[in-house]
Structure 1
Amino acid sequence: MTTNEPRHTQLLAAASAGTLYDPDTDDVVQAELAANREAAAREAQRIAARADELQALRELGTLEQTETRYGDEAVRDELTGRAGGYVQADVDAWLAHALAAHLGHYRDPAAREAATGLLPPPVLAHAALLAEFARLVPGGRADELAFAARLATTEPEAADDLAALLARAPSGAS
């Protein structure tokens, strides 16, 4: 048997004529499927535990002090499914701030790039606005920028356009 051939081709070549391949009886396939199910269950448990942690931190008012981690985008989805919009807005703002400021796992350019495919457009637009406002108005307070989340949530494309326009503006004056 050639090792470049698919497993089922190898098995059929070694079997008697007329034998049909059945993945349900292939021990190797079944072991791989079981391993995949176990990995998915572990990942779901990790996401649920992190969601519990973030929800507790949010309730304590300390979410902003927590650094993002790899996979928090999936945790956002879990929290949204659990608690709905009132938690989602807080978590979205936290993720947008971390993305804009390159905090937590977003220090890594690859994580920031991956976020563009994992986070919804309003969060990405919010992050883009926050990044530009931070560049133009160093030391700006979060309460002064609360409108950025509202704009990004209601009009993400307009927020992206505004961020692109602001990116062309010179940096803030001293």
Structure 2
Amino acid sequence: MTTPLPSWPPRRTDRRTSSPYVAVPRESAVPARTGRRWVRRRARGMSADAVAATLDVARFDARQNPRHEDFSGDERGPAELGEWERIAQLLADSTPGTVYAPDTDDVVRAELAADAAAAAAREAELREGMRIAARADELQALRELGTLAQA
């Protein structure tokens, strides 16, 4: 004896299994920023010699990219090359045997501080918008009750 197949589409129930979807504003992806962050992750723990070798490969790639139509308007490639050059210069100016650590890099710290300040500004703007919307709802409710003659 065979078991009956479940009905399709599945029956709807009154229970909600998940919370409602709320759209959260996200910052747009900036290719140059993505490239710099990728370079920093890859360079973590590298010595000056390893960074110099990787810089040579990045320079070769930069020379080859104009030959490809896909990379003609690329922002990420030049940003990666610039970041490799900056890290190579940073390690060349430091004591021998030093390895790259993004945690101690002043440029990375400044970028993180700027990101935090921008996020705080966006959050304050969002809170202000929510406060204004709540106040507008309150005024509308008062108007509907007839206790508010003019808004």
TM bin (shorter chain) = 0.3 to 0.5
Give the TM-score of the pair, scaled to structure 1.
Answer: 0.30
Which structure ranks higher in relative contact order (CA pairs < 8 Å, sequence separation ≥ 6)?
2
Give the TM-score of the pair, scaled to structure 2.
Answer: 0.35
